Structure 1
Amino acid sequence: MLIDTHIHLDAAEFDADRGQAIDFARASGVAGFVVPAVERANFDAVRGIAAMNADVCFALGIHPMYVMPARMDDIEVLDECLGEGGAVAVGEIGLDHFVPGIDHARQLEFFVAQLELARRHGLPVILHVRRAIDPILKQLRRIGVAGGIAHAFNGSRQQADALIGLGFKLGFGGTMSFSGSTRIRELAATLPLDAIVLETDAPDIPPEWARGQRNEPANLSRYASILAELRRVPVEEIIAATGRNAIEVLRWQPGKAGAQAVGV
């Protein structure tokens, strides 16, 4: 089962043709989509898309790049929304030490608060980990959560092993398509297959063949082929394994509503 574990279907870039983009992805073999929120303002949007599509699930969280305008009572709203059920994870949350001008202390405050919510609600987390894997690992070791997915993983093998040891799967996508991304391609080729999930991050992170264009949900099938080539295994093995990994960590299967719909 081909599952896109990270896609922003609610993004404005899809407003003109959202349904067509989803249908095209389905036609290419994509069987499930995980749509994480990035701020309180789009909680309803991601829930609405999931409500209309049995192959779409949602996560709720406040992205580190959105913490500056956020208020701490947004955490209370998030807690209430998680209590209503349906979310498969808390996300997209984490730390971003790459983008200038974002208060690192404020990012950390929101990240810790959301990890504590994930622990309280028994949910995995979807992590944004740009140039901040070690401080994220520090908090994950301190605040145990039910695993999750490290979205767009771009760290070292040692950091990868640490995340895997904490129950995380690592997300790989369009970056694998660039021949110059040697470290990412090496990790994709050599990490245990049961630790890998696929993602597009559409409309962001377009692949090599679509530089400067909107990333499409349908690209996921080509990412599966790239991963198969890197690992020198049949693409069917990649699809089966990465889909199984996504279902295991999120406890959700396309066509079944809500978190913990599948027993693992």
Structure 2
Amino acid sequence: MSAYAEITYEVEDRIATVTLNRPEARNGYTIRMADELGDAMDRADRDEDVRVVILTGNGKDFSVGADLTQGGFDFDPETGPDAAWQEPAGRCSKRIFTMNKPVIAALRGAAVGGGVTITLSCDYRLASTDSRFGFVFVRRGIYPEGASAWFLPRLVGMGTALDWMISGRVFGAEEAKTAGLVHSVHEPEEVLGKARELAREIAATTSPVSVAVTRQLLYRMASAESPFPVHELDSRLIGGLGSSPDAVEGVVSFLQKRPPEFSMRVDTDQPAYLPWLNK
């Protein structure tokens, strides 16, 4: 896509900011927005000059969830979807899951339904004091989406996930922080700035290849049946550090007490044997 209608995309200081841009509809989630978010994440992931992505919303709300006034789903409701159809919130959350770059969600106001499930695969969620969250599906007679039944218990535990999803109640930022859904809470006008501050620190101090591998290690290996297959992969990764320019630079820059200048590229320098590559 050369232009976006329902999001904006900009890059500054090696940070890509992706903004939901339907403030008149409280950033209600649409099929077009799902497609544009997927394209924007592809774009950021391919760009070696981008180190971190911030996902945020224009206006007082991040997103109130699906906006069915825009025509509903992209299939004929009388015939239903074909076997390959995928619901739109999951298209976004799965694409963020596969990112090589860390993604920081900067949230304020409502993040409800699809407006919260698309953020569950982000690496950080920063909230504002006026944030309100809700997995309200059962109160609408529908079902959880965005692969949230997989992501949410891993973030907050099964007991809390059951409470939030079975009751469908709306809750505030402090409860979300206490449960581990969000990492920090700020005044509404400060959330985006705090996200940028975090993004700049990651961009300035970390190896992009190390971040990409570590991010996927955490996600892909968390459900391994034991630590043994994880340690096998760890051993292969650590055993290869002797030929890693970033590992040398990380040690030398530390000893010389200077900022690191990592040279390895995510698109060409990840170990080819990683089991999740090209999947």
User: Which range, TM-score by smaller chain?
Assistant: 0.3 to 0.5
Q: What TM-score, normalized to structure 1?
A: 0.36
Could you say which structure has the greater relative contact order, defined with CA pairs below 8 angstroms and 6 or more residues apart?
Answer: 1
